[in-house]
Structure 1
């Protein structure tokens, strides 16, 4: 089974018309350190000077059940195990120092896992200096004779520089020499012998085309980013005998008997560049002084003994080299006292802390928290690179999370186009670092696809040609040109030989005399010509003086006119500035008023929306209530319509019954009136009548008629026979006639004596009514309905 080979994917094609010429990709280099032991298993192989191959080690496959894979990664250049520090410096750091001298910024990272050789690459070892001392050596070799005197340039707290005159600089030098300041290194001091050999760089390196018409000043600063806090490693904390010293057990360091420094804050200057506020900047004049400052801060840097490295860096360190450049004045001797003409460039050398899994370092407590912060800051750096690549590749506009970490926030200007960015990926080829090395390679692959805007050249404007022509202007050697006297001597005829070998020689002396006479005559002619030319030259010079005087008068007049115009323009500018300030004040007031009105408008709109929503809810409730009431009205209307119909029908039936009853009554009355008088039946005895009445009250006889159910649920009776009802007094008292009829022979009164009496006992028969106790039914013959 052949191992799978994969290559780094190529970058997507760039669209035509894009400004690719104004951007440069981040330069990513790879350095492979040699194995500590020859018998160790290796997982990284250098294919050529631009490609490395990463293959899965045997132990990783057995533990993770993984397949054997070989992955190739491409870099701008790969440095193998036999690469020297000088070769690495010439390729990576030399161009950055050259840009620094020419006013451009630079940023150099060393990135990798713990034990991959980052600090060795940056600092070096005794006898083999790293990138940092070589950068300092090249810088001072280039500008050593053009440096300004100490304290001519003075750092301020706003990430810029001020210029002092020679007198102020001299006074400050005398003051500092009288009171030695440990911050200011001295060239007479000796560097720590432990790293004295690091700055003894044997190879002489110097930048080309250094501007000799300017003076330079070098300032260095040294900070570290620990647990996402920034500390100044050059800050001298005053000793306090009352407060206890910092215990080295909490943060293991070399020589940790000092008070812990205070963390610093990031600020943004007027040019929108990030800087550390209150950071100590030390002016240095030589490589020895600069490295002394570096080593003083290096002894304060936080390191610890971990499972992977005895002296593992627990923080990100940043060594800044700031070069200040200013042009000379018109005389070419002093610095031009104009702050606007100062050019400041900076080279930042960053030694990142190692990234590795915490289970490999066996970290606990503070070590675990430190490792978590280191991995978090490096993860933020990776995220920023990925977002930058995505924005540039796909044209998106995602926000780059620079502020998530102090490391990325400090260097955000470099990725926005303030200088070149270089990254040295240090890898350890041993098999135990395979997984971490794989993550490092992936990060390098993403980073080298990020493009950074190319910085523009900064022009330095001086008022004089400078040191180059200063010697010539002061009477120095002109060059290989011949003098005027030599030219005149060459124009004279040559002298003949003056040697006389014979006493009888009469030709040598006459020829010599003749030659001397010719030379004398020629000399006399040249003197005359010289006098004539001198007279002519004096006349021309006089004319030239007159012309220059006239020209000066003319120019002076013009200058006076221009000065008047300039003064008028200045007054106009002052008036416009005042007007501008007034307008700015008005604009500010209007902006505030507009802000207030907009806030009121938003509040009113919100209130209006709230009222509209409330009205909508009320309108919806009203519609629902109307629908409900409409349903209730409809239901009630239908109910009452049915009830009215029922009542009307019942009333009609009742009226019909009443009309029928009236008709029946009339018929009865008519029958009574027309019917002949009959004999009165025998009156039963009182006891019989009482018994009968009792029987009738208990069990009344059925009604002579038909019973019908009405529409309203009741009953109606339609009589088919005429009944005569008679009521007897329960007490046996006889009913008297209203007309005072005479009594019967047996002593009782007759109730049927006349028509009136018979009509008075007629009872109104109502539909559905029941007869009360004491009434008797006297059935009449059935009659047919008319």
Structure 2
């Protein structure tokens, strides 16, 4: 297995890995080849139950870009090692968090999963501490040293660089919990903002001078082309010095072959005088060109200054706009946090209401079932009462018919007796007096009035005690006084009085079982519009 590397800190407080080999490249093709050969092929992957190419460790590929300082014109490289600038791009492939109960990892795989989860947990802790320091203004120590992953990139989190995160999630329903945790972690990282430190100057020269010099040369070439034709038409064109010397007239031969030669020197003097005149003309033309060039430079400087002023004004406007946007962004972030807090409260309230709704629905269902049972009991009791009323009515109808028949028979017998007596009286009245038999003397004596003797008045006697009234057979019985809910109390003088009665509006089986008699109070509308009350026993 590969040996563990040690992290060190250089003089600029940047972290690096001790013992790693840096490969120097000079083109993007070489960099891509190194990335493929030394980066992708050295990644540790293995087959698990969830992924055929599961990363078994975090992979880090660092690209460093070195820039040497340039001179004042921005064209030549200065040989000063302390002025070299280094930029770094780190490509990090974080292995995903795993659950051992799903991957069924054992042995080395289990140990690798533990290391991955531990480093990811440390990264999450560092992000949470940074977020807490940012929100509440605290100065908690961030535990970068708990993991080599966070210790290596602590400069990025401290503001020396920028961090960009790409989250990979699986849309399968089986990975919902893992995807949810990853999305929450990504959302939390978006809320972290660290203060960027002040950039260190690279050197004492103005940055961007090479581009400005290049722009100046292009502008100068354009001006010269407008004034005197194209500059630098081709590689065969002579230089400016050659053109300058070619513009002078050629010198005559200066060789003196004869001491009496009086033509060579005058010709030479004449040629030199012409050259002197031409030199003066060229000097004047050069002075004019210098003045024109100086004027052009001044115009260029003024245009550059005006452009710089315009750019500075635009930058100031943009800075104001950015400041306003930052203020608005902070306000919106505070508003978002307030709304999130309100949403959380509303969600909790909705959860409570849902729970109350479920409880009320259950209570409503129980009440509905109870009402259904009561309705069925009421229907059963009404059916029973109707049966009892019908049975009682039929019984009383038969009793009334029997009594009526008995009364009719009794009256018929009385009529027969009266008719017989009337017949006998009629026979006696219509019979002749002579035919009447003479009664014996004893009977005649009996019919004579007997004188009444005077007797003494009776002595006063105490009145006899009244006879004790016979106790009714129904005196010890209990009654059920059934008065329907629609019963209307009347203010009549004669009101029924039932002792030891249980008054109910809907009789139950328990009440009927406890009593011996039943009384139904029935009201109906009479023909004259009055309420007629009937008592059915």
Is this a same-fold pair by TM over 0.5?
Answer: no
Instruction: Report which of the two has the higher share of helix.
Output: 2
Structure 1 length as normaliser, TM-score? 0.28
Structure 2 length as normaliser, TM-score? 0.40
Instruction: Report which of the two has the higher share of strand.
Output: 1
